[in-house]
Structures are given as structure tokens and as C-alpha cells.
Amino acid sequence: MAAVLVHIDLEGGRPHASSLQALAAGRVVASSWGAILYAAVIVHDPDRRASDAALPGVAAARVPGEARAIHAVRVALARGGADKIVVVKTEAPIVPLWSALGTAWQAVLDQLRPRLVAFGADAPSAGELGPRTAARIGARLFLRARAHGSDDVELRDGGGSYARAGDGGAAVVLIGAAPRLATHGEDDIDVMVMSPPGGADPRIELVSTAPAELAHTTGVLIAIGDDAAAEPEIARATQRLAKVLGAQVVGSASAASAGVVGPGAVLEHDAPLAPALCVTIGVPAIDLAGAASLVRVGSAGGKGVDGALTGPIAPNLAELARVLEGR
Amino acid sequence: MTNHPVVAVWLGSAPPVRSIRWLDGALEAASKFPGATAVAAGDPTWLDLAADRASRLGLPSVGVPTDLQLDYLGWAQVMAGVARQLGATTILVDEASRPERFAEVAALAELCDAAQLTHVVAIAPDATTIHASRIAGTLLQTVRIHGPAVIGIRISGAPIDEYPTPRPSASMRRLDLAALGLDPVVLGHRALPPRASQEPRRSIERVAEHLAVHMAPRKAAPDGGNGGDAAIARDVRVSRRPRDGKVTRSGSEAKDARDPKDARDPKDARDPKDARDPKDTRDLKDARDPKDARDPKDARDGKDARDPKEARDPKDARDPKDARDPKDARDGKDARGAKGARGTKDA
């Protein structure tokens, strides 16, 4: 039987929300394709190299006390729909880098030889592990994909590429959205623990961590133009949309004085930005990288624009937020 | 004797989608490394632009003219071939100018057996070491890179409103695919099907669909659940029943799975075929209860996925010969099925 493998990032000892989304998508696909759904967690084993704890930026994702910690993760993943759980212990610190996690992750791939590997698109490790996994197993790669269909579920990304049950070859998918599934009742499922040899790649040495500037964000931004920011109704709708998207609102000093943009989110004219997604409201003076997905509200679409809502801004924003809130 | 990195900067296979300042930024970053070379592939117009921007910063350039439209792994094979020609040990990748470039960082690192680093926003050479700062969520990580590496950079240059149309470059060194040891026919197996340019989504519903895959995931409910999308759940509710008609992990089947009749022989757990290292790979639950249900006849799964025959069936998984051997990728062989390679359609 084929294997569908979901990588689970931990956040404070619990599965990351985006990883649980990937697990939900994996559940739907595995059920449709007749596959077994594995959820794999990489954890730091402090017994293997105690000195790692002093490294900067090392997450607290460990298996302290073994039984209790594994049990908590197991319950969460079982309720999320996993058939089996793989816990991989590594001496490397848990940093969302291929250089830290690659050796351990490779052991899982070798063991399961999955047909489909899924990551939560917003999970910390997805950007580093996902594409490298795809390259390593020669798979097709889908970014920000989601499950479609009912009986014959397929995964489809925004570019129109899809993975189906009958396809040949493997696929790696970064899941952007997943169905909301009911909690699975059974907590008592298999946990397989692996301790592959090897640790972090010494070629990448983490020196320090610090908070990133907003201008460097790789997440979601809403950039608001000065004219739009001056309209209270638009400002309110913008905040509502930002909340549902989990986005930061950025704009000029003028927009900040209107109260739409926080003091730390003021950008200079033509500021270069490279987020994953930018929603522009009105005509903000930003310079967006080509890699960013762009949705315009209140201005016309064009080449390289993924979505454009022309017409009155405030009603469009409010309706957009309402639709997204209902999802 | 110290070995300074030999640097090439991969500019990609097509011009930037929007501003070229990120292209300039990548070239400026590369220009910090003595002897760095700019590399591009694709149609002649794009090669001329790449050569022009590189020459403005005094960087030599290499172009691979081709009309192939490849996926991330196909272009990575092209760049890896150029890197071998140049003897490059460090490859910078402009991952900001086009969305598809991001995945090429990892693919290049895999093909070159190099370390990888993505989302780098600052970079500086320091003798044999490279200092880099990268974005990881809301954090800025500072790292030192020793040895061969592929580094995805998102560093912008100065703002540019307009730039002169580049003229055909005489200075760009042209390499064809054959010179890189790549067969265009074989490489074509990584081709992407031609698509019409996508029109922007113009309705609220379609824009919302697009935004939904970027929404911050909801936190899991206290009782479990996944915080997923209710709109999709409406579509897939019936699909949680597998093809064979068994309800996955329903209460009755879970009960069956724990039935001693279904429990596998404890000896199986120690079967070397089941684990890479029997000492390291163990099942916690097996340790507690040897009558655990990971039997091939497991009622929940039908078959044990760790049965090597099943897990390595090329129908269920990729062919290990094709997919696992890095040499295949370097040779331009397709690692996935042709059906899969062309499995696209309009959304």
C-alpha cells in the first residue's frame, strides 16, 4: 500500500497549525487513494549531544520525558487523522534548515518511500525541506496546493498543476489550505521511533538570531495607498481583512497618521518587498518582487497580477473578508 | 592554502516578472565575490538582458540558449551543468524575481551535493567563509557558510523605473546543452506544458479562493481537529471513505485493529526488512504490547505499508532506480513518470 507522508513541525511541543492542515489534506488524499497516512516528527534527542542546547535559536522541540511528550504529540496527530506516527530523533538542534534536519528527514524518506509528501506551507521547515525533498526523490513539486474533489481527490496548485491517484511518480506538496475535518476518535495508534546516525550539516553554522524587519517578511502583507487609508470605511475593512489573513498592514507615514498602519510598519516610497503574498489597496508606493503573489483591490489588474477587484474598495474588502471569515 | 569560493549567480530562465531591481540586487551580491560569473538560460532576449545587467557591474556572463520550458529540476540540471563547467563551488540564486526560482535553490543544492540556504537578505564574503542573514518566519538568522553551498537570495538593487533595451551581447559566453553534457531530448522529460497566460481573478469568490491558500492556519481546537477550511470540507466530506468502502479509523475498525487475531507476530518487529536499523527503529507500542496491530492484515489499513514489496512497488511509489539516484538527475534523466510530468490543466 502506498504511503502518504506528512512532515510535522512542532511549536512548543505541539504540532504546528499549518502542519495539521497538511495532515488534514493528507488524510483526505490517503483515504481517496487507498494509502496509509504517516505523520513524521523530527525531535532533538538531548541524550545524544547535550552541548547543542546552548546554540542560539534552537527550538524547544525535544522529547523530554519521552513518554508524556510523545503521547501528547501522538494524541494530537491521531486526532488529526494520522494512521501511523514516525518520531525521528536527531542529535542536531531543531532549526528549520535542511542542514539541521536533512539527515533525519532522509531516513524517513528511505524508510517509507512515500508516494506523496506533504508539508504545511506555513510551517517553519516547509520552505527548506519541501523543495529539497522533491529534488531528492525526483518528484513534482506543488506550492500552496489544496485538495479538490470528493471521490477522486486530487491536489492542485494555483498554477493549474495537479497530482492524482493515477499519476506515475512521486509528488511533494506544500499545503496552503485543507478541509476542516472532524476530530478522529482513536488516540491509540502506532508510533515508530527512529534514531538515524548523523547530525547537522557542519557547512551551515547558525551564529545568532534576532527579530526580522517587517520589510523582509516572507509572509502576507497588505499595502495600503495614501488615498485609501484616508477613508475610515476602507481602513476598517482593511484591518478586518488583515486579521483574517494573518497579514501585516504596511503603508506610508501618511497612512500611519490615518491610523491604519502601525508605527513599525511604515515604509519608504518604493520600498522593495518580497512577501509570499501582497494585497494592495488603492495604489501604494511599493516595489514588489516578482516572486510575490499580487492581488489588487481598487486598481486594475495586469501582467503578473493574480487577482484584481476593481470598483468601490470598501464594499469589496468587506465582502472579501466576510467570505474568508466564513471558511 | 585557503580555498576561496568560486561563485556563480543563477539568474534563471526568464526575465523578472516585475521590477528588475532584484535581478540587479543578486548581481550586486555576486559582485562582492571576486571572479563571480552570472549565468542565465532561455531565449535570446532574456540572455541579452542578463548579460547587459551583469556587464554593468563588471561581471562576466554565461548564457545557455534554449527554447525548452522546464520545471524546477530541469533548470537546476542546466545550471548544475554550467557550475561544473565553471568549477563553481558556491551558487547564488535570485529567488525573488520569479516565483518558480525558489524551488531551484534546493534542486541545485541537491544536484551539486551542496549545503542550501534560502531567503537570504544579506551576504558577505569573509575569506573562505560566507556570512549570510536569512529570514525564518519572524526571525533573522545569521549563519556562517563553510564549503560548497547554494544560496537563495532576495536582495534588491536600486529602484529602476526604466532601463534601456539591451543590445545583443557579444561578451556573453554561450554554452549549448550538449556542451554541458545534457541531452535536450532527455531534459525535455522535465518540460512543463505550455500554458496560456493566466488572467487575473476578478470576482470576490475567485480572489477569496486564491487568498485562502495564504490564510494563517487556525490553531487546532482543544479537542484536536485541524482548524481547516470549512469551504473545502463541504467538498470532500464524502471522500473520507476509502475506495474499498472501509471507513478509515472508525470506531469499529479500530476495535478490530486491536483484536489479537490481527496482531502481528512480535518477531516481525525485529525483521530487518521492516527497519533500517533494528536497534534504532522500534515501535513504542510494540514494546508495551507485542500483540500490536501492524500486521499486514491490519484491519485499519488492509496491508502493512512497511511491507517492502508494497512500499517499493513502482506503481505505488516512484521507481527507486530513477528517483533516488542523484546521477539520474544530473544526467537529465526523468525521475518521474511522463504522465505525471505532463499532468496539468487549467485550474
The string of pLDDT tens digits covering residues A138-149 is 999 999 999 988
Closest Cα of chain B to A258: distance in Å?
Answer: 26
The arithmetic mean of pLDDT across residues B306-310, rounded, is 38
Q: Give me the pLDDT at residue A159, please.
A: 79
The arithmetic mean of pLDDT across residues B80-109, rounded, is 96
The Cβ of residue A11 has, within 10 Å, a number of other Cβ atoms equal to 17
Q: Give me the pLDDT at residue A14, please.
A: 87
The arithmetic mean of pLDDT across residues A239-243, rounded, is 95
The arithmetic mean of pLDDT across residues A95-103, rounded, is 94
Of B22, B236, B275, the CB nearest to A28: B236
Which residues from chain B sit within 8 angstroms of residue A287, using beta carbons?
18-19, 21, 156, 159
Compute the half-sphere exposure of residue A28: CA atoms within 13 Å on the CB side of its CA.
35
Contact between residue B33 and residue B153 where contact means Cβ atoms under 8 Å apart: no
- For B225-275, the pLDDT digits (tens) are 555 655 554 444 433 333 333 323 322 333 333 333 333 333 333 333 333
What's the per-residue H, E or C state across B279-330? CCCEEHHHHHCCCCCCCCCCCCCCCCCCCHHHHCCCCCCCCHHHHCCHHHHH
C-alpha cell at A28: 483526505
C-alpha cell at A135: 529534488
Contact B109 A107 (CB under 8 A): no
Closest Cα of chain B to A207: distance in Å?
Answer: 5
Q: Is A36 helix (H, G, I), strand (E, B) or coil?
A: strand
Of B103, B138, B240, the CB nearest to A31: B240
Mean predicted lDDT score pLDDT of chain A? 88
Which residues from chain B sit within 8 angstroms of residue A170, using beta carbons?
317-318, 323, 336
Give percent above pLDDT 70 in chain B: 61
Contact B232 A178 (CB under 8 A): yes
Res. B219 pLDDT band, cuts 50 70 90: low
Task: Give the span between the Cα atoms of A144 and A196, in whole angstroms.
Answer: 30
Lowest mean pLDDT among A123-137, B72-86, B284-298: B284-298
Q: Give me the pLDDT at residue B60, please.
A: 97
Q: Which residues on neighbouring strands pair with residue B130, listed in sequence order?
A: B125, B145
Complex ipTM:
0.91
C-alpha cell at B122: 544579506
Contact B316 A115 (CB under 8 A): yes
Contact between residue A64 and residue A107 where contact means Cβ atoms under 8 Å apart: no
Contact A301 B199 (CB under 8 A): yes
Task: Give the span between the Cα atoms of A28 and A170, in whole angstroms.
Answer: 17
- For A69-84, the pLDDT digits (tens) are 777 888 889 999 999 9
Res. A304 pLDDT band, cuts 50 70 90: confident
Contact A177 B212 (CB under 8 A): yes
Res. B161 pLDDT band, cuts 50 70 90: confident
Has residue B346 got a pLDDT over 60?
Answer: no
Contact A180 B328 (CB under 8 A): no
The model's pTM: 0.80
Backbone angles phi, psi at B296, to 5 degrees: -55, -25
Q: Give me the pLDDT at residue B117, please.
A: 96
Question: In this structure, are strands B282-283 and A190-194 parallel, antiparallel, or unpaired?
Answer: antiparallel
Of A18, A132, A206, the CB nearest to B143: A206
Q: Where are the alpha helices (DSSP H) in chain A?
A: 17-33, 67-79, 98-112, 126-137, 226-229, 232-245, 253-257, 313-325
A5 versus A199: which is more confidently predicted?
A5
Question: What chain A residue is nearest to B341 in terms of C-alpha separation?
Answer: A140
A327 versus A290: which is more confidently predicted?
A290
Has residue B311 got a pLDDT over 60?
Answer: no
Query: Roughly how many angstroms between the first and final C-alpha of chain B, as a whole number?
Result: 56
Has residue B279 got a pLDDT over 60?
Answer: no
Tell me the C-alpha to C-alpha distance, in Å, between residue B224 and each of A6, A30, A150, B251: 17, 19, 23, 17
What DSSP element (H or E) covers B83? helix B72-86
Contact A79 B224 (CB under 8 A): yes
C-alpha cell at A148: 479538490
Of B148, B303, B323, the CB nearest to A170: B323
The Cβ of residue A272 has, within 10 Å, a number of other Cβ atoms equal to 23
The Cβ of residue A311 has, within 10 Å, a number of other Cβ atoms equal to 8
Contact between residue B133 and residue B121 where contact means Cβ atoms under 8 Å apart: yes
A141: left (phi over 0), alpha (psi -120 to 50) or beta: beta
The A residues from 224 to 243 touching B (CB cutoff 8 Å) are none
